[in-house]
Structure 1
């Protein structure tokens, strides 16, 4: 009789919808960091991600005592490698999900955090088959910078006359509809720092913006830094000046009002594969930059700031050129142009789904399961 490998059993249960836990040596290494042999044996009796199990059911299925089961579950929940809902427990996706919660809270040993960081960094930098996330799953989208509506946006005359700037297309929507904010460290750049490859654009402390109840809770737990409305506006401006892209869930139902990432192209688990591997994880916005050549001073700051390397300088014609095939319409070039020579034109009317689900839950719900 073939002996069952509990790590393989758990690995197979960690995939949900477009999120995968590929059969790869790095994935097995990651699982061994998260869970020791006894815990993984217990977890092998868990159902697939998205479903829950009770302690009493685990007692019936395993040889562990109730005391042992509760001890192992309590430790795993504290490390944010599984989640608890009422009196039931469940597995969560490795990315996004466990990745964010594990590094936001940092409840594991420094040694394990470093080892896990090195593996996640490897997964972000290398194409493994199947990928951790399906390459055509449009999970995120960029939001235009603060003050875009007043300073940066123009409507293309070729777009349907009914077109208008929609609140969910702008980062200021999170500001306008909330009063409480907090900043949590960027998990992607933290992984770089822990693995000896820090980001040169911004530190991990310049991380995600959370609002509302989530901001209060994470600040209360000591995982986040509280901000008032004015401080949140200033913070977003600082991230834009650094060259970070505001990225939110690719939906319009309100998820973007609670959690926004501020992303770099060198470490972000969504932006980096979108740039380097041509994945479609970050769907371009409905906007594209337009350069006024009469106002442009050829300072090349836009070229330096562009996260997608979509801007170049043509020496023969002495002008900046935008490659619209590479551009994601984030507006970082426009917000950083000191001559105000770049405007953002609305060229499309794509409307995202109201809710973007990964399996049976949204990205934010998967994360909330672990953090709350």
Structure 2
């Protein structure tokens, strides 16, 4: 089979996501490292979510061959398979480049030559995407506003100012965990990629702190991407993340905050690809937030700890007092948690969409 097979497969995986990646040599090389030509030909069929019978009809494959193909692609993280909420039938979907294939290639924490090669290729792909966006900035950036936020910020609860409001159940990360019986933990794919590139995280030494819930957790546990853990273990991971200065980012089914959470990532500015994509200039920060940081000017000592730790660089010092940019603040509470003077607290705004255009380099 020719490169055209991989090009068509690349178009299918891009169409499965919300981020408009280019079909270029780097993406093709990534797919060649994780798929055989036969698998690439099969992935083309998944131009939309399909159940097994629909795939069988479309592919014409015998039962045994079809099952082998589906299992091999799920094991390699190229497609996912979860039970439909309505019918209970297994529904199979192609994974997009990100979030999707990038994560599954890194989240087992493997350190072989293949993973090192993929880490470099993904870094090249992200840089090329940034170059494409920067070269067409004025045309592309306004189009980003039509994209749905992929994440929702779950705040550091203990620093919510109770004078403003009570914390909602979905905004309390511990109560969120209590809603799920099945929880998995995996190696942070972003930090692992940076480790493979000899650029270790500057914020935390923790690596196994990506959490998955419900059907998503079941899939990742079944195919060896994640390990099952208890609710108490998940809470301990979240407590360590808060102490290290990481941001809780929740991912919802179909990017709909009215649906269940699928995962919580604990993110840092130096590794997290959503933060990194913003600072590279390849994508805006688009997220749901429900809080904004507020500074008590009388208590602030001007130590700059909040400005140093803010992942969005939303805090600057004016006359030795911290000032928060409401338009850049994602309400994560990391600044408040780590303020030695307790001069910051989170004020509830109600769910809002934060959109910060990428810097123009």
Task: Work out whether residues 142 and 282 of structure 1, in 8 Å CA contact, stay in contact via their aligned partners in 2.
Answer: no
Task: Give the direction of change, closer, same or farther, for the CA distance of 1:99–1:264 in structure 2 (3 Å limit).
Answer: same
| C-alpha distance in 2 between matches for 1:41 and 1:213 | 27
| Greater share of residues in helix | 2
Summarize deviations over 1:5-31 as a string: whole Å, max 9, x none.
111111222213623342222211111
Q: Secondary structure at the match of 2:265?
A: strand
CA contact (8 A) 1:189 1:203 kept: no
Residues 337/225 of structure 1: CA separation in 2 closer, same or farther (3 Å cut):
farther
Deviation at 1:35, TM superposition (A): 1.7
What's the offset of the Cα at 1:218? 5.2
Q: 2:115 aligns with which of 109, 113, 116?
A: 113
Spell out the pairing of 1:92-111 with structure 2 (5 A cutoff): 92-105=95-108, 110-111=112-113
Contact kept? 1:286, 1:346, Cα under 8 Å:
yes
- CA shift at 1:187, angstroms? 0.9
| Map of 1:366 onto structure 2 | none
SS of the equivalent of 1:200 reads coil
Q: 1:31 to 1:213 in 2, by over 3 A?
A: closer
Q: SS of the residue aligned with 1:260?
A: strand
- Structure 2 unpaired stretches of 5+: 83-88, 135-139, 355-361
Q: Which secondary structure state, in structure 2, belongs to the residue aligned with residue 193 of structure 1?
A: helix
TM-score (norm 2): 0.76
- Tell me what 1:177 maps to: 179
1:132-179 Cα offsets, whole Å, 9 max, x none, are 997332111211113344xx4542xxxxxxx76432233233134346
Larger radius of gyration: 1
- Which blocks of at least 5 consecutive residues in structure 1 are unaligned? 156-162, 353-372
Contact 1:50–1:92, Cα closer than 8 Å, also in 2: no
Q: Aligned pairs, how many?
A: 332
**CA–CA distance in structure 2, aligned partners of residues 128 and 27 of structure 1:** 15
Structure with higher RCO (Cα < 8 A, 6+ apart): 1
SS in 2 for 1:127: helix
- Shift of the 130–22 alpha-carbon distance from structure 1 to 2, 3 Å rule, reads farther
Partner residue in 2 for 1:343: 345
Report if the CA contact (8 A) 2:49-2:92 is conserved. Answer: no
Larger displacement relative to structure 2 (83-92 or 286-295): 83-92
Instruction: Give the Å deviation of 1:261.
Output: 0.8
Deviation at 1:342, TM superposition (A): 0.6
Runs of 4+ in 1 over 6 A off after TM superposition: 65-70, 85-88, 130-134
The reply to whether residue 264 of structure 1 matches residue 265 of structure 2 is: no
Structure with greater strand percent: 2
CA distance in 2, matches of 1:4, 1:181: 39
Correspondence 1:77 to 2:74: yes
1:43-94 CA-to-partner distances (Å, cap 9, x unmatched) read: 44x241434554564347xxxx987776555433321223457788653222
Partner of 1:195: 197
